[in-house]
Amino acid sequence: MTPAEALYADLRSKGIDLETDGERVRWRPAALVSPRDALLIRNNREQLVVLLRVGGSVRACPNCGRPLDSAARCPCCFDRLCNRCGRLTGSYCIRLCFMCGYLDDEESPV
């Protein structure tokens, strides 16, 4: 995932919509964009314009349908996709689901 794709995913997961006219990037609602986010948008403007023009999309949460952030986390369900298999882990903070975590334990030497 490129920095622009990660930024786009993070903004969409916060409920921020981006659009472009081919040169500028606009966002709404403006009240949700922090000064840090605005700076990141400005710094990644060219890549965001390209991403938006080709119809950039983000993954959706299988439970609620909201956009996931760049780490595949859902801020609504407080769940995330497993880094290995893509199943839900049951926690916003856990990177591997139970099965993938179990397989890691089985493969590591004791």
Distance, CA of 48 to chain centre:
14
The answer to whether residue 25 is domain-embedded is yes
Alpha carbon separation from 108 to 71, 77, 101, 102, 103 (Å, rounded): 25, 32, 11, 10, 9
Domain around 13:
3-53
Which residues are CB-contacts of 59 (< 8 A; sequence separation ≥ 6)? 9, 67, 68, 72, 81
Q: Are residues 7 and 46 in the same domain?
A: yes
pTM, rounded to two decimals? 0.74
Question: In this structure, are 44 and 84 located in the same domain?
Answer: no
44 part of a folded domain: yes
Per-residue confidence band for 20, with pLDDT thresholds at 50, 70 and 90: very high
In the predicted model, what is the mean pLDDT of residues 26-33? Answer: 94
Cα-flanking dihedrals φ and ψ of residue 71, to 5°? Answer: -100, 15
pLDDT of 6 reads 94
- At 44-92, the pLDDT tens digits run 999 999 999 988 778 899 999 999 999 999 999 999 999 999 999 999 9
Number of structural domains the chain divides into: 2
Cis peptide before 67 (omega within 30 of 0): no
Residue 18, domain member (yes or no): yes
Comparing 55 with 96, the larger pLDDT belongs to 96
- Please tell me whether residues 9 and 42 are part of one structural domain: yes
Do residue 8 and residue 43 come from a single domain? yes
Q: Which of 36, 53, 70 is the last residue of a domain?
A: 53
